[in-house]
Amino acid sequence: MFSTVQNPRFFLFQCRFQLHLVPKPRHIHHSRVICASQVVSEPQTIDLTSTPSSEILNIRKSLLSRERKAIEIAEEYLNRLRQTEPQIHSFLHVSENVMREAEEIDMKIDRNEKLGPLAGVLIGVKDNICTVNMPSTGGSKILEGYTPAFDATAVKKLRDCGAILVGKTNLDEFGMGSSTEGSGFQVTANPWDLTRVPGGSSGGSAAAVSARQCVVSLGSDTGGSVRQPASFCGVVGMKPTYGRVSRFGLMAYASSLDVIGCFGSSVADTAIILEAISGHDRLDATSSKREVPNFASQFVSTEFESKPLKGLRIGVIRETLRDGVGAEVVSTIQTAASHLEELGCIVTEVSLPSYSLGLPAYYILASSESSSNLSRYDGVRYGNQVAAEELNSLYVDSRANGLGSEVKMRILMGTYALSAGYYDAYYKRAQQVRTLVQRSFNSALDENDILISPAAPSAAYRIGEKKNDPLAMYAGDIMTVNVNLAGLPALVLPCGFAEGGPTGLPIGLQMIGAAFDEGKLLRVGHIFEQTLQGCKFVPPLLDESCT
Amino acid sequence: MASTCYRGIRSTRTFSLCPSALFASRRNGVFFCTMQAPQTKTNKPQHNNPRTRTNEKIIEKYEAVIGIETHVQLATITKAFCSCPYLYGSHPNSNICPICMGLPGALPVMNSKVIEFAVKLGLALNSNLSLNSKFDRKQYFYPDLPKGYQISQFDIPIALGGFIDVDLPLEFGGGHRKFGITRVHMEEDAGKLLHSGNGAQVDLNRAGVPLLEIVSEPDMRTGIEAAEYAAEIQRLVRYLGVEIKNVNSFSAIHKAIDFEISRQALFHSQSQGDQIVQETRLWEEGSQRTITMRKKEGLADYRYFPEPDLPEVVITTDYIDSIRSTLPELPEMKRRRYEEMGLSMQDVLFLANDINVSMFFDEALEKGADVKMAANWIMGDVAAYLKNEKLSINEIKLTPQELAELISSIKGGIISGKIGKEQIADPTEIEKMIEKVLEENPKQVEQYRGGKTKLQGNEGIKRQGEPSALEQDPLREIKCQKLITLKVIPVVTLYSFAFTLDCMSLEGPNGFPDVPHNSYLSLVVNLINMRERKPQSSIFGFSAYSVDDMDGVTGTAPRKIMVVADPGRESVGALEWVLSHAVLEHDELILLHVEHSASWLSLLLKRPHPSPTLTTSTSAAAVAVSARHLEFLDAMKNVCEVAQPKVKVRIERMETGGKEKSSMVMLQCEILSIDLLVIGQRRSLSTAILGYRRSGGMPPREIDTAEYLIEKSKCTCVGVQKKGQKGGYVLNTKTHKNFWLLA
C-alpha cells in the first residue's frame, strides 16, 4: 500500500488530504485488534523478552558471521516501515536507495572487504539535518522540495561508517515545538498510542525508532527536542554536550542551544551513534576539539556485580518533582532513584534555585536567535518563492505562505526581544539568567556525578490537546531547557510507565552530566537499563504482532 | 577602456568611503548627511557649484564637522568565513559555496588572516586592541544579503581609539594634522544586485569578502582634510599589504565635501536648515555636485546580537607583539625620515605617498644613489612617464639598482642626464664605447681640448635630414655598428658632457634604427658657442632652440623669442628657462597669451567679434576688459625685465575664436617672424626610454598643444618642463626628445 519509491511529496499529500479516505478512522488505531491486523505477520527478530540489547551490535555480528544478509535486515525494517507508517507518519521522505545500499554491503561482505562499524544499520535522519540526495525541508513548507548540496557533517560521518539512511523524519517546523504537530506537512502519532503525540520536535525520529522503522535515528535538541520525544516514545535519547557534535548541516533554530542528538532502542546503540557523529569539525567553529572517548566499549558486558555503580553520587533535582509534574511521573522517577540506589549510587536531593527561570530565558534566547536564523528563508535563493511585483511583497508573501504560525510567532517574539529599547530588558537579561543557570548546574555537578530528573512533566499527551495553548506546550519543556542553556549532556531513557494508551505510556528518566561527560551518562544509563526489571519498552503496535 | 572601467567599479566597493559630514553651525545647531564615494559620471558639466565668492562669506560663519567611515577590503586569499577565493571579475556566482550563499545548515568559520590584518591596522592606527572581541549579527533584509544578516562587530570591536598623522599637501597650504580614530571593526561584505531587463539578479561572489571598517572621530573640518585623511588610510593599508588594490578619487571626496559644506551653509544662511536631512548623497563628477541618493527614514534597527556561530575573538599580547614586530615602516615614520634626510615636504609627500614609489626610492638609496638626485629622478621623469603611460612604478623596466648606477654615473660625470634617460643596460659597455670613440677620434678630441668650436666634418651640416649629414659624420661607422645594439653613441668632451642621437625608433623597418635628422656634432658646436657667449651658464647648458636652426644663431643677430604664457606653472617654468638659458642681449621676448573665446570670461564680456584679434597690454581696451586677468602677464613681464634688463619684453594677447590654440600660436609666429617659440609642457619621457611591462596596446594619447607645436611649428619650438625647484629642465624639440638639463 505504501511504496518507498513513491514521490515523497505525493505521499505527504496523501497523508494530509486523503486522511478521510483511509477506511479505518484514526481514533481507533490504538485498539489492539486493529493494530494487530495491520502489522506484519512475518517472523520478527526483535527480542522482546529480555532487556534491551544493542541492535547495532547484533546486526554487525549477524553480518560478519554471514548469518543474515544486509538486504534481509533492510527488507525487514522496510517492511515494518511500510506497515506502520500509515498510522505513525514519522517519515517525510523515505530513501529509494536503501535496498541498493544494502546490496552493496552484501557485496562487500562477499568480497571480504572491511565493513564500516555501522554497515547495514538503517538510520532515520531528522528532516532539519541536511542530506545530499534527499529533500531536507526542516518540516517547513518554505523549503518544500529543497534538496541540499551537501551532507551535514553528522550524516557524512554516519555514511562513512557504512550506515544506510532510511529517510527523513518528521518534526515541528524548524524544530519549534514539542509535539511534532507543528510540522508543515503531517502529524506524527505516538507508536504507544496513536491518538497521542510522539513529543517534539524530533517526534518523527523518536517514533521511528520506537516503532522499529529504523535501527537508530538522528534528532536535534534545542530545548529538549531529543529528550522529551524519547521519553514520550519509550526510547533512549541522547543530547550531547554543546560542541560535541558538529552542527554543520543542521538547519539552525537557536545556534547557541542547538545540538544534534541521537535515538536508539538501547543505550548501547545510542552510544555507538554518538561516538560515530562526535568530534571536531572545521566547518563548525563551535565544535569542540576534545577527543572523543570510546563510548561503545563499555557495553559489551551485560553481567554486573551486585553494586556496579558503588559510590556514584546522584542528585535528584528537587525543583523537577514539584507542583505541575504528574504524580505518576514523580513516583516513577522516585522508583528509578531507588533503583540507582540499589545499584550502589548515593542518591541525594539537590536544589537548582534558578530552575524556574530557565524556561522564560530559553524562550527569549531561542526566539531571538531563531528570528535571525530564519531570516535566510526569504524565497530569494531557494525554497518556495511567491511571485511578486516588488521586493517587499516577495519577502512578505513568501514568508507568510511558507512559514507556519508557531514559527511566525517565535520570529515575532525574537524580533521584539532584540529590538532597540527592549534588548536589555529581554535578550540581555535572558543571557544573565543563562549564566545563573550554568552556575547553579556547575555547583550541583561539583557535588554530584549525575543529576536526575524527569524528561517531561507528563507522559505523552493527546494530539491536539495543547495545540492551541502554546504556554502549556512551552511549560512542558521545563525539564529540558535548562540543560540546553547550560550546554550540558543529558541522556533520557525509559524507566517506567504511566496510565494511558493500550499498554501504558512510557516515562523517561533524564540524566544530566558534566560537560563532555557523556561517557559516564552512557555507562550509568546502560547499567540502569540492563538491570531494570519488569519493563520492556516495545510499543503495543509491535508487541502484539510478536507475542 | 575596459580596464579603466573595471577599476572604476572595483574602487567603489573595495575602498568605499562614507564620510558623514556633521556641521556644527555656530548658530543653528547640528545637521548631517552621509556621502557616497563617487560612482556616476554625467557628461553634462553644469556650473552650479554654490561655492561662489558670496558663499565664501557665508561659509566662514559655519564650522563643518566631518567624520569618515572607511571600508577596506582585505587582501585575503579566501573569504572571511569560508574557503571561497575572491577573484574580482569572475563570472557571477562562480566563487560561492553553501556558506557564503547562506544555505540552510551552513556555518561560518573565521579566516584568521582577517584578524591578523585587523590587528595590523589597529596597531598602525595607534588603537587599543581588544584582547576579547566578538562578532555580532547586523540584521536587515536585502536580496544581496544571503543570510538575512551581516556578520559584523557591534559593541566590542577589535580596535578602539587611535589616531593618524596627516601632512596636508603644500598646494593646499600644507601643515600637519592629527585625526582621531573611533574604532576599527571586522565585517563581511554583501553580494551585489545586477539589474537587467528581466529585473534584478543576485551575484554572491562578493558575499562574505572580509572588510575592515574604520570610523574616524569627527575631526575633519574641510574637504581637503577629509580627502587627505582618506588618502592616508589608503596609504596605510597599502603599506601594511592589507588591502586589495584599487583606484579611488580622493580629489572627488575633497570636492564633494566642499560642495556639501557650501550647500548646507547656504541653507542655514537662508534659515532653511530644515532642508538638510540625514541622507546619503552621491557626488556627480560630471556636474560637480552632490545629489540625493537615498534618504533614510530614521535610524534603522539592526537588532544586533552576538553571533552565536562564532567563538569570541581572543588575542594575546604575545600575538600582538609578534604582529607588531612584522609591521613595515609606516607612511608617517617614512615621511619623518625623509624629512630628516633633508628633502622638502613636497618631495617627502611625493615619495612617501605611494608605497611602491617609496620602496623604489629606498632601494635606490640602499644601492648608493644620492638622495636628492634619486628623488628628482623619481619625481621628475619617472613619475611623468608613469602618469603618461598609466603605469605603476613596479611595472617599468627600470630597477632601483639601475637608477642608482645611473645617478652615480651622472654624478661622476661619466654620462649626462640625457643618456641616463636612454635606459642604459650596461654602463661599463658605454664606458668602453666612450673610450673607443675617444681613441678613434684623437683629432676631434684634441680639437675640443684646444677649445675649437667647430669640428671637422661638421661644417657643412646645416639642415637636418640631409644625406650628407651621415656621410660627413666622422663617427658614422661607430654609430652604425653600435646603433643596433645600444642606440646610444656618446661623445665625451673635456666638458664632461655627452649626448646622444635620440628619438630613434629601434623598430626601424629593416631592424636598423631610423637615423635621426640631426647631427650630434652640430649640437656640440652650438653648445660650445653658447658657452662662449654665456659663460655663466651651467656646464651642461644647452640651448635647444638652436639645434635645428643653425642659421638663426650665427653671430649676435637679434632674435624674436616668443613664450606661450598661461597662468599655469608650466608657463612659468618655460619662461624661467628662456631667461636663464635661451635669451641673449638684443633679443626680443614676446609673451603670448591665447584665450579661449568660449571661456566664461569671454561669455561674461559678450565680445561681439570672436575672430582673432590682437591687443597689447598697453591697450586701454584690454585693461578695461579684465585687469585681474592680466595680472599674471604683467607679473611675468616684470620678472623678465628684472632678470634680463636689456631684453625687450612685450605682451601679446589673442583669442582662439573657436579654433585650436596651437594654430593660433603658429599664426602668430608667422605674423611676428618669430625665431624661437617656447612653450611649457607637462608630459615627460616617451615609452622608448623607460619601457613598460604591461601587455596589450596603449590607447592613443591625445596630443596636446605643446606637442603639436613642437612637431608642426615652422620656427623652432622648444617644449620646456621644469623639474622641481632645483631639478632642472627637460626640453623637447622636434628632433630632441627629453633632453635633461640639470640645474
How confident is the model over B63-72, as pLDDT tens digits? 889 999 989 9
Q: What is the pLDDT of residue B462?
A: 30
Query: What number is the average pLDDT over the span B607-618?
Result: 41
Contact residues, chain A, for B100 at CB < 8 Å: none
pLDDT level of residue B693 (50, 70, 90 thresholds): very low
- If DSSP codes are grouped into helix, strand and coil, which group holds residue B718? strand
- If DSSP codes are grouped into helix, strand and coil, which group holds residue A78? helix
Q: Which residues pair with B279 in a beta bridge?
A: B295
Cis peptide before A201 (omega within 30 of 0): yes
Sign of CA dihedral A264, A268, A273, A279: positive
CATH 3.40.50.620 domain position(s) in chain B: 533-610+618-743
- Average pLDDT for chain B: 70
**Residue B567 contacts residue B574 (beta carbons within 8 Å):** no
Q: C-alpha grid cell for residue A526?
A: 546502560
Contact residues, chain A, for B303 at CB < 8 Å: 371-372, 415, 418-420, 423
Distance from C-alpha of A166 to C-alpha of B738, rounded to nearest angstrom: 81
CA angle B302, A428, A318 (to 5 degrees): 145
- Nearest Cβ partner of B143 from A130, A249, A380? A380
CA atoms in the 13 A half-sphere facing the CB of B234: 21
Q: Is the pLDDT of residue B491 over 90?
A: no
Going by their DSSP bridges, the two strands B289-295 and B132-133 should be labelled as unpaired
Question: What range defines the domain where residue A85 resides?
Answer: 55-305+455-541
- If DSSP codes are grouped into helix, strand and coil, which group holds residue B740? strand
How far out from the chain centre does Cα A535 lie? 21
How far out from the chain centre does Cα B518 lie? 33
B31-35, B184-188, B540-544, B604-608: range with highest mean pLDDT: B184-188
In a domain, A436, yes or no: no
Q: What is the pLDDT of residue B501?
A: 24
Query: What number is the average pLDDT over the span B254-281?
Result: 87
Q: Pick from A343, A355, A353: which is nearest to A495 by CA? A: A343
Contact A129 B105 (CB under 8 A): yes
Chain B contact for A248, CB < 8 A? yes
Residue B645 carries which DSSP code?
Answer: T
Q: What is the pLDDT of residue A24?
A: 37
Radius of gyration of the CA atoms of chain A, in A: 22
Does domain B533-610+618-743 correspond to CATH entry 3.40.50.620?
yes
Chain A contact for B305, CB < 8 A? yes
Written as one string, the DSSP assignment of B375-389 is HHHIIIIIHHHHHHH
Q: What is the pLDDT of residue B217?
A: 94
Chain A segment 184-203 residues within 8 A of B by beta carbon are: none
CA angle B550, B552, B554 (to 5 degrees): 75
Q: C-alpha grid cell for residue B185?
A: 571593526
Higher pLDDT, A186 or B596: A186
Lowest-confidence segment of A470-484, B201-215, B474-488 by average pLDDT: B474-488
Contact A375 B148 (CB under 8 A): yes
Q: What is the pLDDT of residue B620?
A: 45
- Nearest Cβ partner of B149 from A152, A372, A423? A372
In a domain, A381, yes or no: no
pLDDT level of residue B727 (50, 70, 90 thresholds): low
Q: What is the pLDDT of residue B299?
A: 65
Residue of chain B nearest A422, judged by CA positions: B303
How far out from the chain centre does Cα A192 lie? 16
Low-confidence ranges of chain A (pLDDT < 70): 1-50, 299-303, 543-547
Contact residues, chain B, for A376 at CB < 8 Å: 102, 104, 146-148
pLDDT level of residue B484 (50, 70, 90 thresholds): very low
Contact residues, chain A, for B112 at CB < 8 Å: none
Cβ-Cβ contacts under 8 Å for B248 (sequence gap 6 or more): B11, B15, B17, B37, B230, B234
Q: Minimal Cα–Cα distance from B85 to chain A, Å?
A: 16
Contact residues, chain A, for B139 at CB < 8 Å: 372, 375, 418
Written as one string, the DSSP assignment of B139-195 is E---TT-TTSEEEE--SS-SEE--EEEEE--GGGT--EEEEEEEEEEEEE---EEEE
In a domain, A377, yes or no: no
**Strands of B305-306's sheet in order across:** B149-152, B136-139, B305-306
Give the number of A-B residue pairs with CB atoms closer than 8 Å: 101
Q: Minimal Cα–Cα distance from B105 to chain A, Å?
A: 4
In a domain, A299, yes or no: yes
What is the phi-psi region of residue B153: left when phi exceeds 0, alpha when psi lies from -120 to 50, beta otherwise? beta
pLDDT digits 0-9 by tens, B675-689? 888 888 875 443 333
Chain B contact for A148, CB < 8 A? yes
- Nearest Cβ partner of A284 from B107, B202, B304? B107
Q: Pick from B287, B96, B331: which is nearest to B209 by CA? A: B96
Q: Pick from B456, B462, B511, B455: which is nearest to B483 by CA? A: B511
Q: Minimal Cα–Cα distance from A138 to chain B, Å?
A: 9
> How many domains, chain A?
1
Residue of chain B nearest A381, judged by CA positions: B146
In a domain, A411, yes or no: no
Active site residues of A: 126, 201, 225
Chain A contact for B104, CB < 8 A? yes
A394-408, B16-30, B84-98: range with highest mean pLDDT: A394-408
Cβ-Cβ contacts under 8 Å for A246 (sequence gap 6 or more): A152, A153, A154, A260, A277, A279, A280, A281, A283, A284, A287
Contact residues, chain A, for B149 at CB < 8 Å: 372, 375
Chain A contact for B149, CB < 8 A? yes
pLDDT digits 0-9 by tens, B509-568? 332 333 332 222 222 222 222 323 333 222 222 222 222 223 333 344 677 888 888 877
Q: What is the pLDDT of residue B36?
A: 53
Contact A130 B105 (CB under 8 A): yes
Contact B309 A130 (CB under 8 A): no
Position A534, amino acid? G
Distance from C-alpha of A210 to C-alpha of B158, rounded to nearest angstrom: 50
What is the interface pTM, i.e. ipTM, of the complex?
A: 0.88
Going by their DSSP bridges, the two strands B289-295 and B279-284 should be labelled as antiparallel
Q: Is the pLDDT of residue B182 over 90?
A: yes
Going by their DSSP bridges, the two strands A236-239 and B716-722 should be labelled as unpaired
Q: What percent of chain B has pLDDT over 70?
A: 62
Residue of chain A nearest B93, judged by CA positions: A381
Contact residues, chain A, for B141 at CB < 8 Å: 375, 378, 395
Q: What is the pLDDT of residue A21?
A: 33
pLDDT digits 0-9 by tens, B391-449? 888 877 778 888 888 777 777 655 555 555 544 434 455 455 555 555 655 555 555 44
Q: Minimal Cα–Cα distance from B141 to chain A, Å?
A: 8
Written as one string, the DSSP assignment of A248-292 is TTBPPSSTTT-EEEEEESSHHHHHHHHHHHBS--TT-TTS--PPP
Q: What percent of chain B has pLDDT over 90?
A: 22
**Residue B49 contacts residue B289 (beta carbons within 8 Å):** yes
Q: Which residue has the cell 511504496?
A: A3
CA atoms in the 13 A half-sphere facing the CB of B590: 22
CATH number at residue A273: 3.90.1300.10
Q: Minimal Cα–Cα distance from B146 to chain A, Å?
A: 6
Contact residues, chain A, for B98 at CB < 8 Å: 148-150
